[in-house]
Amino acid sequence: MPERIWYLLSIKLSGEATQAELDEFHLLLSEQPEWEVAVQQITRYWLQPKDIPSFSSSPEWVHHIERLRSAGVEWAEPNSGQAAIVTLAEPGNRRYQMKRWLVAAAVLIITLGTGWLVLLQPASNAHELMVRATKNPNEVTTQPASRSQLTLPDGSKVWLNASSKLSYSNGFGEENRNVWLEGEGFFEVFKNKELPFIIHTSRMNIKVTGTVFNVRAYPQEATSETALIEGSVEVALSGEKEWKYHLKPKQKLVVDDHGISTGKINMGAVTKFAPINAVPSYTASLQSLSRPLADSQVVETAWVYNLLSFSDESFRQVANKMEKWYGVTIILLETDMENWYFTGSFKNESLTEALTALQLSTAFSFVVKEHTIYISKPVNK
């Protein structure tokens, strides 16, 4: 009969212990300090992240669907080979539930040759959900205030934020896995050690074998960043040949092309600051991800959950995010307003509601003229 302490540890680890049992465990442990190290190590072992592959294009999945179909069970197969796109966002009606989109929203198929996406979906919101491909059949763009999810031919998934463009080369998935990104994307890269997945952006290139991360690289914005959720990635700044930065989970690399540190974004969270000699016009810094949201979420990827979110960010940065989110132009009439900082997150709010909420923390006035919002310091008080 083993001692009670080990039974107590087992229910503590499986999350089934009552407070009284936890207290009893800690009392027993304090009487037997020789086991303290062992308890720590076992706890660490128990909490070790589990490495369970979770990609739907695994051989097991393919085999399963074959069996399902041969059993005569109905199953609508999306296309294969080409990227399948599911449009996620629907501007204008933010009360629409995310999971409903995924069903109601159409599966879009890029047709070769014509280069236009065929859109199959309810006519009511068709005008808002239009995702356009250009002449290159392997290119997907999103409109302002709209977001898309796509699955690439290799099984990797990409969530594309508003006003973004993703393209990939013809041999994608077979000879290489190169993609080009302008804008913001959240990537779940299918594991393939032989064929690294490389994302090219104007300021940096990112190399991965299989992982989950977010890249924000809008050419018109002063900073670009790569935020890593799990796995590992390597980042090289444009013009550099060596993969220089190795990110760990929950870190992000911010590149600023004005040579200014972006430490203010995450005050106190800057873990390393590394000016790049080879490219004097860039500054890069490694930072921790911001997480004022629920534990499993971070600000950098909130948009994937249909949350507009910012954490101690300047008015200019907030305005950039809101411009893409709502598909408007925001003009700050006085430049020193750019140094006002905001933290917050919005889900269902309209643009006016969001601006009104921001006014609660800092007084300002705004005027809406069609698709442009003019913001100034308070008129009277």
Partner 1 sequence: MPYKRMHLPELQHAIATDDDQQAYAELFARFNPLLVLFTQSIVHQREVAEEIVSDVFIRIWQRRKTLDQVQHLKMYLYVSARNYAINKLRSKNHQLSIKVEELSVDLPSFSDDPYEITVLAETQKEIHRAVNELPGRCKIIFKLVKEDGLRQKEVAELLQLSPKTIENQLAIALKKLAETIRNVANGKKYT
Contact 306, 347 (CB under 8 A): yes
Burial class (CB in 10 A: 0-12, 13-18, 19+), 58: middle
Q: Is 38 in the site for partner 1 (CB under 8 A)?
A: yes
Candidate segments 34-42, 169-177, 237-245, 336-344, binder of partner 1 by CB under 8 A: 34-42
Min. distance of Cβ 245 from partner 1 in angstroms? 14
Q: Is 48 in the site for partner 1 (CB under 8 A)?
A: yes
Candidate segments 59-67, 164-172, 250-258, 333-341, binder of partner 1 by CB under 8 A: 59-67
Q: Is 39 in the site for partner 1 (CB under 8 A)?
A: yes
- CA–CA distance, 159 with 136 (Å, rounded to integer): 19
- CA–CA distance, 112 with 115 (Å, rounded to integer): 6
- Residue 207 β-bridge partners: 198, 234
Burial class (CB in 10 A: 0-12, 13-18, 19+), 83: buried
Q: Is 188 in the site for partner 1 (CB under 8 A)?
A: yes
Backbone angles phi, psi at 205, to 5 degrees: -120, 145
Q: Is 95 in the site for partner 1 (CB under 8 A)?
A: no
Backbone angles phi, psi at 333, to 5 degrees: -75, -30
Residue whose CB is less far from partner 1, 35 or 342: 35
Q: Is the dihedral of CA 249, 254, 260, 264 positive or negative?
A: negative
DSSP for 276-319, written as a single string: -SSSTT-EEEEEEPP--S-TT--GGGGGGGT-EEEEEEEHHHHH
Binding residue (CB under 8 A) for partner 1 from 30, 31, 33, 50: 50
Binding mask 199-238 for partner 1 (x = CB under 8 A): -------------x------------------xx------
Q: Is 20 in the site for partner 1 (CB under 8 A)?
A: no
Q: Is 305 in the site for partner 1 (CB under 8 A)?
A: yes
- Residue 213 β-bridge partners: 187, 228
Candidate segments 64-72, 116-124, 165-173, 215-223, binder of partner 1 by CB under 8 A: 64-72
Binding residue (CB under 8 A) for partner 1 from 30, 31, 71, 81: 71
Residue whose CB is less far from partner 1, 152 or 355: 152
Number of residues located near partner 1, criterion CB under 8 A: 61
Candidate segments 100-108, 175-183, 236-244, 344-352, binder of partner 1 by CB under 8 A: 100-108
Q: Is 348 in the site for partner 1 (CB under 8 A)?
A: no
Q: Is 96 in the site for partner 1 (CB under 8 A)?
A: no
Burial class (CB in 10 A: 0-12, 13-18, 19+), 262: buried
Binding residue (CB under 8 A) for partner 1 from 23, 27, 41, 352: 41
Binding residue (CB under 8 A) for partner 1 from 25, 159, 346, 364: 159
- CA–CA distance, 38 with 36 (Å, rounded to integer): 5
Contact 223, 262 (CB under 8 A): yes
Residues lying near partner 1 in the complex (CB under 8 A) are found at 1-4, 6-7, 9-11, 13-14, 16, 34-35, 37-39, 41-42, 44-46, 48-56, 58, 60-61, 63-64, 67-68, 71, 73, 75-76, 78, 86, 98-100, 102-103, 157, 159, 186, 188, 212, 231-232, 248, 296, 304-306
